[in-house]
Amino acid sequence: MTAKFSESDCQPVSLSSASEDDATWTHLVQSSVPGLGFLFEVTGKPWTAWVGVLGLVFAATIAGLLGFGGGMHHKYENENGNYNYYADFLGRSGTTASTSGSSNNCPSSAAATEIIAPDTFYSHSPSACTSSSLTSTCANPLNILSASSLSSSPAGMIMAAPSPSLDAALRVAREFDLPSDQAQRGVDEFLSQMAEGLAKNGTTLSQIPTYVTSVPNGTEKGLYLAVDLGGTNFRVCSINLKGDSTFDLTQNKVAIPRDMMVAPSYKQLFKFLATQIEAFLEEHHNEHFEATVRRRRLTGTTDQYRREEIFDLGFTFSFPVHQTSINRGTLIRWTKGFDIPDAVGKDVCLMLQDAINELHLPVRVAALVNDTVGTLMARSYTSPGKTETLLGAIFGTGTNGAYVEKLDKVTKLDVKNDRTIDHTKNQMVINTEWGSFDNHLSVLPNTIYDQQLDAESVNPGIQMFEKRVSGMFLGEILRRAVLALTKDSEAKLLQTEGNLIPSDSPLYEIWGIDTSFLSIIEADTTSDLTATKAALFEHFKVSNATTDDAQAIKAIGHAIAKRAARLSGIALAAILLDTKRIDTDETVDIGVDGSLVEFYPKFVDYMREAMREIKGIGEKESKVRIGIAKDGSGVGAALIALVAHKEYAIGQR
């Protein structure tokens, strides 16, 4: 068995493999200090193992004090036949541990952890283990993080012998590694696609001008309606902006029925939306509803509403739109599983306004907003201090970002002659539509599972970044990888004790596995992965999964999500570099929203880790403040409706 340390500057060490059918408890120790090499094995009851451990601690400590670095390896087997391997480094700061002729520095007293299979690693989550030393205790001895996560896990590490399923799963997991050099190439390409998108239309990164030229400062006031058509839900809200960075929000939320997403005509979808607005007004603004809508219906009046009776509504429409003014924009394409061809090329505000008018509601669609723009606005309204937010980003069902760009860089607009643009601040919010970054796959990773998913999606070849990053797709990537291993005659995932997968398992259905499954298993820190097994029952209908199965699935899920987070870091890093705000500002504020950032443990940490690896960012990453902009799209839409209302009022005078 070959073991490697994840610390990039530690050398590989060899572990002697012990027979799998050793007695109940076996302790095997090997030092990797050249010349010191000793090896002993204690076989028998657990206490004898610990005697061995203590002896070893003593010997290794002496070695450390004398200036030798020492790599110690320990294997334990418990009554259930499970193996745990420990590899600890002891020694003074900066001492050298070496096994293969060359030498490298290993972190001082890092209890380097690992390893299971040839050329693969796994470790505890650092938080699950108490510090270094041979007696380190881990609440979660089998919490697999993956090879590349080891560098962030300097404390106590553990190893267990791989089962064939785990072994195979770790191999699959490694296909999702995104090394630093690939991340760097990603940022370089993102920067060049950003520039191209600002210069012309029809590029892969759309860089859509939003006509929003300033961000709020928290003093805005008023009552506005907002609706939010995202990937999964439709929300109707009324927002009372209080002018002191706070707001009250009332909302109704409904899941968008699947058949609406692929309705034969846009009319069905927009009628459904207008009906939800009507129900909301009736429920939450009943007095107003009675005084306006009901009165007119009862009397059969078709009089126009008076201006003061009309609600201004901000429409958050989370799909790519070619925007031509603050409340005009045509749909470029559907994403996130929607597919209603006759809507493409039509003005989304008009489609909604027509449906609202059919129901005679006192509502004017005043502003059109992408959810990322809403997030940016909401974060800027609520964020602490005077810092203006640079970027609003969504990592939910879909992914995208909108940022504040210098107006004179948006060369595809006729900025000088366009009288609808406010030039005062020489800036405009740009909706990148980064879900379509690198559709031609010049830098994005492309595993077999990515390829299969894309081929069977409603929009092959499109939204290639989104298909590797966002919540709509991660569960499906995992499903495909797991399914492949269940069919593999060597890996035998979920097959060791007979086929554990019922024929009606969502594992057999495209889009059957929700990304929330990945968050649940990642958060599982129980030693026998109880929560993962329960989630396997709930999401896969698989009961009696073994701990090996659970570990294998957890390892793959972790790798898929970590890749997604690191890819997200590429987008953020590129925007920090493009705008140069990382060099000029004390603090760079970013607002985020979406289920992945909210619920996936460490998503933001992995994103930050990737950003730090990028040239020009490095340590400056610590200047970046990332905050959740909860309800961002609703509040943001209200804020833009407010701006639009002011402009409209001026126009009416």
Q: Can residue 337 be called a binding residue for ligand BGC (CB under 6 A)?
A: no
| Number of residues forming the site for ligand BGC (CB under 6 A) | 18
Mark the segment that binds ligand BGC (CB under 6 A) among 34-42, 58-66, 301-309, 390-398: 390-398
| DSSP assignment string, 348-361 | HHHHHHHHHHHTT-
| DSSP assignment string, 553-611 | HHHHHHHHHHHHHHHHHHHHHHHHHHH-HHHH-SSEEEEEESHHHHHSTTHHHHHHHHH
Residue from 168, 236, 394, 571 binding ligand BGC (CB under 6 A): 394
Q: Can residue 336 be called a binding residue for ligand BGC (CB under 6 A)?
A: yes
Query: What is the C-alpha to C-alpha distance for residues 76 and 18, in angstroms, rounded to an integer?
Result: 10
Comparing every residue's Cβ against ligand BGC, the nearest one is 398
User: Smallest gap, in angstroms, from Cβ of residue 122 to ligand BGC?
Assistant: 33
DSSP state of 124: -
- Which is nearer to ligand BGC, 120 or 397 (by Cβ)? 397
Helix (H, G, I), strand (E, B) or coil at 74: strand
Mark the segment that binds ligand BGC (CB under 6 A) among 286-294, 384-392, 394-402, 410-418: 394-402
The first and second tokens of residue 488, run together, are: 């593999």
**Using CB under 6 A, which residues numbered 431 to 470 contact ligand BGC?**
433, 435, 466
Active site residues: 318, 333, 371
Residue from 143, 370, 432, 486 binding ligand BGC (CB under 6 A): 370
Q: Can residue 29 be called a binding residue for ligand BGC (CB under 6 A)?
A: no
Closest CA to 551 of 26, 111, 122, 179: 122
235: Cα separation from own chain's centroid? 22
Residue from 71, 230, 471, 632 binding ligand BGC (CB under 6 A): 230
Helix/strand/coil percentages in the chain, nearest 5: 40, 20, 40
Q: Can residue 631 be called a binding residue for ligand BGC (CB under 6 A)?
A: no
Please work out, in degrees rounded to the nearest 5, the angle formed at the alpha carbon of residue 371 by the alpha carbons of 365 and 376: 110
Residue from 220, 278, 371, 621 binding ligand BGC (CB under 6 A): 371
Residue from 136, 148, 316, 372 binding ligand BGC (CB under 6 A): 372
Q: Can residue 319 be called a binding residue for ligand BGC (CB under 6 A)?
A: yes
Contact 356, 629 (CB under 8 A): no
Q: Can residue 318 be called a binding residue for ligand BGC (CB under 6 A)?
A: yes
User: Smallest gap, in angstroms, from Cβ of residue 315 to ligand BGC?
Assistant: 13
User: Smallest gap, in angstroms, from Cβ of residue 263 to ligand BGC?
Assistant: 18
Burial 389-411 (b: 16+ CB within 10 A, else e): bbbbbbbbbbbbbbbbbebebbe
Q: Can residue 186 be called a binding residue for ligand BGC (CB under 6 A)?
A: no
**Using CB under 6 A, which residues numbered 541 to 580 contact ligand BGC?**
none
User: Smallest gap, in angstroms, from Cβ of residue 374 to ligand BGC?
Assistant: 9
Residue type, position 470, single letter: S
Beta strands 311-317 and 221-229 are parallel
Residue from 99, 123, 210, 400 binding ligand BGC (CB under 6 A): 400
Closest CA to 227 of 335, 312, 105, 159: 312
Q: Can residue 207 be called a binding residue for ligand BGC (CB under 6 A)?
A: no
Query: What is the C-alpha to C-alpha distance for residues 263 and 244, in angstroms, rounded to an integer?
Result: 42
Q: Can residue 335 be called a binding residue for ligand BGC (CB under 6 A)?
A: yes
Residues in touch with ligand BGC (CB under 6 A)? 230-231, 318-320, 335-336, 370-372, 394, 396, 398-400, 433, 435, 466
